[in-house]
Chains A and B, each alone.
Chain A
Amino acid sequence: MAVQSPPVAESPLAEALATRQHRTLWGDVWLRYRRHKLALFGTFILLVLMLGTAVGPLVYTVNPEYIDIMNSSLPPGPEHPLGTDDLGRDTLARNLTGGRISLAVGIVAMLVAMVFGTLIGILSGYFDALDNPLMRFTDLMLALPQLPLLLVIIMLFRDTLRSIFGLELGIFILVVAVIGLLGWMPTARVVRGAVLSLKRKEFIEAAVCVGTQERSILLRHILPNVLSPIIVSATLGVAAAILTESALSFLGLGFPSDVPTWGRLLFENKDFMTQNTWLIFWPGLFISLTILSINFMGDGLRDAMDPRGRQ
């Protein structure tokens, strides 16, 4: 005699369970990120800028370094969509290549800062013996005057690195390394805070009890759980790095004139801005748009990854 089991689908709860979509952590984050209109707008603008600078020079194949004195200081026109500078170099081409470098500096410097910040944050949060020395070190780094020190270091070590790695790569490595190594401290503090509260949790205790190695505890249990503050500070780190690089180049102490970053373009063209305002308008606009969209994305990510907002 077969026992007739009641049809499952009839209970409303079971029905809800059956129709409920499978959701992942990151799917959830994306769901909430999508609701943040400004963040989506920022993502869109940033993607356009990134694609534009990545693909742009391949499509618009005008040499950004080509000097054409006869056609200098032209306003926007059919020949040169954004005009030319005082040496007759094409503004659009220079802005596109400049954007490549500015964005690359931002991303790589952020990566350097994240690696250091995460490492120091996790180590000082997890190992009590390391906490005090590492945090005092972080405090010391925070007390260093950032911009003056950056200027000094770049000025002093520029020639040495350029002679080792070549003109452009040398200065790129220097700028990225210095910005990254002077920018990891906020991340380290945030990560340390997160690790401190995590390591008292039961699941870490359980992992210790079953004999998990310390390295795996750090990599498999701690690191994934502090990923969201890291991602948020990485986003804001890109903006900070781009701003710093532009400031350095604007002061004439970042990239040399053969490497047109957006900040460098502002520096070069500021003496001609009375004749041709477009020259400073475009790089300034691109920097501002990049920073603006990254800040929007950071805000959106912070809200989307906040576990209190999960349903």
Chain B
Amino acid sequence: MSNYLIRRTLTAIITLFAISFVVFGVLELAPGDPTSALPETIRPEIRQMIREAMGLDAPFHVKYALWLRQFFYIEPMMLVQDAFNIQVLNPDTTVRLTSWGSRGTPVFDLIAQRVPQTLWVVGLAYIMAIVVAIPLGVVSAVRQYSLLDQVGTVFSILGYSVPTFFTGLLFIVIFSVKLKWFPSIYDTNLQVTDWASFVQQMKQVIMPVTVLGFFQAAALARFTRSSMLDNIPMDYVRTVRAKGFHERYIIIRHILRNSLIPVVTLIALGVPTIFGGAIITEQIFRINGLGALLISAIQVNDIPLIQTVVFIFAFLIVVFNLVADVVYGILDPRISYS
């Protein structure tokens, strides 16, 4: 197992390097000059100096190596410095990854401002999706072709056919405009201090969470159902039943336990997807999270910020793939990694 873990981690690291190369390369290959947004009145020799200061004329491999150093050495070190309040790097010579769009703010400072909102919405949505989907999938499988199963089927087909940007807009029209139940715009400055502000926070988060969670719940419920249906006709289930256990006990302790193994993997694999889905949801409900940051960075051609945010998304995918593999190995003793 540990051997497998090491090998798998090494592959993940190599993949991350390859992805960093792709992300960096795409943005480097792109036509367009970052100084073109500066005023026309800047004289050519000054413009050239700006280009040199930004390091735009260096050869590709130098720029890539410098970027790697910034990303994998300087930025983590800064994090450590802030966390333990120590000084390791010389503040005069370290060049942090800075955003082009917002006058030299370090990229990670911008990201740190946005992550809490995204995590809060995405996390709640995912928890809600899991809480709804797994019981629904179990009951649909146990009572196959019952009314509830049919309703669940329709629900999940709608869930992955109706795009989130449509459900989101419909929700706003119905619940914000017509019924006036929930606000349509997410207020990031809201501080939860007492019961009233907590209720307000819940009100503004309920629509984005439902929209994002619905989509994820649909896929999870289907998957749980089919995984349960795979296990129900198994011999071990017949054996337990022959021993005379209660049906509820058989379903929960035996069938569900075995059926959840692939479901747990799917849950791990779905985490990066739901972060990607948050890009759209954040745009609909005006949540200023990570996705909104990416969109605004793309609009102003803020290349360091784009590179970092895209790489963070890639990082999530690689890490959760690894988590899914490892969890699968731990949960299912039939799988051996030798």
> Is the CB–CB distance between B26 and A251 below 8 Å?
no
Closest-by-CB residue of A relative to B31 is A160
Interfacial chain B residues near A287, Cβ < 8 Å: 163, 166
**A169 close to chain B: CB less than 8 A:** no
> Is the CB–CB distance between A250 and B30 below 8 Å?
no
Interfacial chain A residues near B317, Cβ < 8 Å: 143-145
> Is the CB–CB distance between A148 and B321 below 8 Å?
no
Question: Which of A60-68, A217-225, A266-274 binds B?
Answer: A266-274
Chain B nearest CB: distance from A189 CB in Å?
Answer: 14
> Is the CB–CB distance between B314 and A144 below 8 Å?
yes
In B16-48, the 8 Å CB interface with A consists of: 18-19, 22-23, 26-27, 30-32
Q: How far, in whole Å, are A251 and B279 apart by their CA atoms in the complex? A: 9
Chain A facing B: main interface SS: helix
Interfacial chain A residues near B280, Cβ < 8 Å: 147, 247, 250-251
**B173 close to chain A: CB less than 8 A:** yes
> Is the CB–CB distance between B160 and A295 below 8 Å?
yes
Chain B nearest CB: distance from A183 CB in Å?
Answer: 14
- Number of B interface residues in the complex (CB < 8 A): 43
In B130-165, the 8 Å CB interface with A consists of: 157-158, 160-163, 165
Closest-by-CB residue of A relative to B18 is A140
Interfacial chain B residues near A296, Cβ < 8 Å: 157
Q: How far, in whole Å, are A243 and B159 apart by their CA atoms in the complex? A: 13
> When the two chains form the complex, which single residue of B32, B157, B321 contacts A159, counting CB atoms closer than 8 Å?
B32
> When the two chains form the complex, which single residue of B163, B298, B306 contacts A288, counting CB atoms closer than 8 Å?
B163
Question: Which of A2-10, A24-32, A93-101, A149-157 binds B?
Answer: A149-157
**A253 close to chain B: CB less than 8 A:** yes
* A interface with B by C-beta (< 8 Å): 139-140, 143-149, 151-153, 155-157, 159-160, 239, 243, 246-247, 250-251, 253, 263, 266, 270, 273-274, 277, 280, 284, 287-288, 291-292, 295-296
23 contacts between A and B (CB under 8 A): A140-B19, A140-B22, A144-B314, A145-B272, A145-B313, A145-B317, A151-B294, A152-B27, A157-B30, A157-B31, A239-B161, A246-B163, A251-B283, A274-B177, A277-B173, A280-B173, A284-B162, A287-B163, A288-B163, A291-B160, A292-B161, A295-B157, A295-B160
